[in-house]
Amino acid sequence: MYVCVCNAITERQVRAAVDGGATTLDDLQFELGVATCCGTCAATAAEYLPGGRCSSVCQATSLTHPTAVAIADQTGPAANSFPIPIVKAA
Ligand code: FES
């Protein structure tokens, strides 16, 4: 998924930048160029930073919903390239 359409920056690139140490929107703007054209993507990009709604998708370890367990029990690659969080009930 594209986070920044103006600069063709994907969610994967934003996550990689955050994994690489980006902690502010300024960091993402400097490293990737997000929010440097129309600025529409600024709020979305910021959600991937530490503390944002999209920052913890890979840290979901306390879900107890049966669907979460079913996903965790699956093996093999996903049918698409979207990163699916692997979660296990505590
Ligand atoms: S969508 Fe990112 S600057 Fe326009």
Identify the pLDDT of residue 59: 44
Which pTM does this prediction carry?
0.64
- Count how many domains the chain has: 1
* 47 CA → ligand 1 middle, Å: 15
With respect to residue 57, please indicate whether it lies within any of the assigned structural domains.
Answer: no
Residue nearest to atom 2 of ligand 1 (CA): 4
3 CA to middle of ligand 1, Å? 8
Residue 21 lies in a domain: yes
Instruction: Kindly state whether residue 79 falls inside one of the protein's structural domains.
Output: no
Q: What CATH number is associated with residue 41? A: 1.10.10.1100
Within-domain flag for 37: yes
Pocket of ligand 1 (CB under 6 A): 4-7, 34-41
Q: Is residue 62 part of a domain?
A: no
The parent domain of residue 19 ranges over: 2-47
Residues (pLDDT < 50) of the chain are 59-72
Q: What is the pLDDT of residue 56?
A: 78
What's the confidence (pLDDT) of residue 80?
55
- SS3 sequence, 10-49? EHHHHHHHHHCCCCCHHHHHHHHCCCCCCCCCHHHHHCCC
Alpha carbon 33 to its chain's center: 17
